[in-house]
Amino acid sequence: MALKESLWGLLFSDFITIGIIIATAFAPRLSVFTRKILFNSALYSTSVALLYYLGSNGPGLLYLLAITIFILLSLDKRFGYVAVALNTIICIGFCIAIYYGFASPVLLNEYQFDSWIGVSSNLIFLSAVSALLIPRLFNGLQSAIDKQNHLGEELEKSVTDLNAKNKELEQFTYTISHDLKEPLRMVHSFMKLLKNKYRKQLDEKAHEYIYYAMDGAQRMQANIDDLLEYSRIGRKYTSVEHTDLNALLDIAIQNLQADIQEQQTNITPADLPTLNVVPVALKILFQNLLSNALKYQQDDNQPNIEISAEEESTSWLFSFSDNGIGIDPEYHEQIFSIFKRLHPREEIPGNGMGLAICKKIVEQHGGKIWVESKSQQGSTFYFTISKHYFDKNDEKRGKNHLQD
C-alpha cells in the first residue's frame, strides 16, 4: 500500500522495522530481554509512521494500544507504565504537530487540536486501564495455575512416598516374620523333646503347661505363616495371565471339597469372565471367601452359596452370598483388618487374616471389596476387578517383578 500510494517514508519505516526484527531474531548472544526491547521499539516506530502517514485510515493508534498489551504480556508489569508514558509522549507530540500545523496533510485534514485531544486521551486511558488490569488478570490466572501445579506435584510426591513406605513395610513384615520362625521352631521342638524325654518324671500339671506352650507356639507359627502370605501378595505373586476365572473357581471348590461335601453345601456358580489377573492370588481370594461362607454357619444349617459376576464399564463386579450367621453392620469395615476376628478361636477356628488377604488381592487388581450383611441374615461379599488395571500398570509391574 505504501508503494502504491508512494508513501516512501512509511515504506522506509516498514523496511527498518522488518530489518530490526530479523536482526533481533538471528543475532547471537542477545539476551531475551534485549530482544523484547528491540522488538517493541521497532513496533513503536512503525506505529508512529503509520499514524503520521495514514492518520485514522491506518492502524497506528490501534498498534500503540496493542504494543502496550504486548509489553505487559512479555515484560515485567512496570514496563506497562513505561508504555503508557510513551503513548502519552507520542500523543502530545502529534498534538503539538497538529497545533502548529507541521503534522502530515492526512492528519491535519482529519484532526483539529480538540478532536485529536479527544482521540488520543481515549488511547491513553485505554493503555492505562490495560496497564492496571492485565497484570492482575494474569497474576490471578498464573497463581491459580501455579497452585494447581503445586498441588499436582505434592500429590505425586505423596503417592511416591506412600508406595515407598508400603514397600518398606512389606519388606519389614516379611523379614520379621521370616526371622521369628526359627526361634519359634526351637521353642516348639524343645518343648516336644521335654515332653517326650521326661514324660514319666513330669506330673499332669506340667504336661498341661507343655501342651499350652506348644499350642501357643503352633498358633504363632500359623499367624506368622499368614503374615508371610499377606506380605507375599504383590511381592511374589506378580505374574499376570489372561485367565478363565471359572477354572480358578473350580480349583478353589475342589480344594474345599471335603468341607463342602460334609456340610452338603449347595453352590450356585456364575459364568465368570476371562480376565488379566494374577491367577494364584485370585484362587486364594475365591477360596478364602468360600471357606468363610462354609465356616460361619449356624450348626446343622445347610450352606447355600451363590456367586455372581456382572460387567461394568471399567471393571467386573463379583459377589459371594451365603446364608450364614451374618455380620453386624458395626463390624463391616473392621473385618478386613489383619488379625481381626469376631469369634473366639475355640468356637470357630481361624486367625483373622483371610479377609485382610482378600482385600490386598482385590486392591492388587485395582478393585474394592466390601460386605453387605446383617446379623443372622447371611452375608454378601462384593468385590470389583478392574478390566484394564494391568494394561496400565504393565511397565510399573515389570519393574517390581525384576525387584522381586
Question: In 3-state terms, the chain is what percent helix, strand and coil (to 5)?
Answer: 65, 10, 25
Instruction: For residue 133, list its beta bridge partners.
Output: none
In the complex, minimum distance from the CB of residue 365 to ligand ADP, in angstroms, rounded to a whole number: 18
327 binds ligand ADP (CB under 6 A): yes
Nearer to ligand ADP by Cβ, of 112 and 337: the residue is 337
Residue with cell 498341661: 208
In the complex, minimum distance from the CB of residue 218 to ligand ADP, in angstroms, rounded to a whole number: 15
CB-based burial, 331-365: b 16+ in 10 Å, e otherwise: eeeebbebeebeeeeeeeebbbbbbbbbbbbbebb
Using CB under 6 A as the binding criterion, the count of chain residues that bind ligand ADP stands at 22
Q: Which of 119, 206, 214, 342 binds ligand ADP (CB under 6 A)?
A: 342
Backbone torsion region of residue 339, taken as left when φ is above 0, otherwise alpha when ψ lies between -120 and 50, otherwise beta: left
- Which of these ranges, 32-40, 170-178, 201-209, 318-326, lies near ligand ADP under the rule CB under 6 A? 318-326
Nearer to ligand ADP by Cβ, of 379 and 386: the residue is 379
In the complex, minimum distance from the CB of residue 376 to ligand ADP, in angstroms, rounded to a whole number: 10
In the complex, minimum distance from the CB of residue 228 to ligand ADP, in angstroms, rounded to a whole number: 15
Instruction: For residue 311, list its beta bridge partners.
Output: 316
Nearer to ligand ADP by Cβ, of 98 and 293: the residue is 293
Q: Are 243 and 280 in contact (CB under 8 A)?
A: no
Instruction: For residue 268, list its beta bridge partners.
Output: 306
Backbone angles phi, psi at 328, to 5 degrees: -60, 135
Q: Calculate ∠ Cα 156-157-160, nearest 5°.
A: 85
Nearer to ligand ADP by Cβ, of 17 and 288: the residue is 288
Nearer to ligand ADP by Cβ, of 42 and 335: the residue is 335
Inter-CA distances, 12 with 5, 16, 43, 66, Å: 13, 6, 14, 22
351 binds ligand ADP (CB under 6 A): yes
216 binds ligand ADP (CB under 6 A): no
In the complex, minimum distance from the CB of residue 211 to ligand ADP, in angstroms, rounded to a whole number: 23
Q: Are 315 and 385 in contact (CB under 8 A)?
A: yes
Query: What are the DSSP E strand ranges found in 209-254?
Result: 241-244
In the complex, minimum distance from the CB of residue 315 to ligand ADP, in angstroms, rounded to a whole number: 22
Q: Calculate ∠ Cα 334-339-342, nearest 5°.
A: 55
Nearer to ligand ADP by Cβ, of 231 and 292: the residue is 292
In the complex, minimum distance from the CB of residue 184 to ligand ADP, in angstroms, rounded to a whole number: 20
- Angstrom distance (rounded) from CA 114 to CA 331: 86
225 binds ligand ADP (CB under 6 A): no
Cell numbers that stand for 36 in this block? 523484547
14 binds ligand ADP (CB under 6 A): no
Q: Which of 58, 234, 279, 324 binds ligand ADP (CB under 6 A)?
A: 324
Q: Which of 248, 281, 307, 355 binds ligand ADP (CB under 6 A)?
A: 355
Interaction residues for ligand ADP, span 275-304 (CB under 6 A): 288, 292-293, 296
Q: Which of 230, 352, 369, 397 binds ligand ADP (CB under 6 A)?
A: 352
379 binds ligand ADP (CB under 6 A): yes
In the complex, minimum distance from the CB of residue 260 to ligand ADP, in angstroms, rounded to a whole number: 15
369 binds ligand ADP (CB under 6 A): no
The letter for the amino acid at 179 is D
Inter-CA distances, 296 with 263, 319, 326, Å: 12, 17, 8
In the complex, minimum distance from the CB of residue 325 to ligand ADP, in angstroms, rounded to a whole number: 5
Residues contributing to the site for ligand ADP (CB under 6 A): 288, 292-293, 296, 322, 324-327, 335, 340-343, 350-356, 379
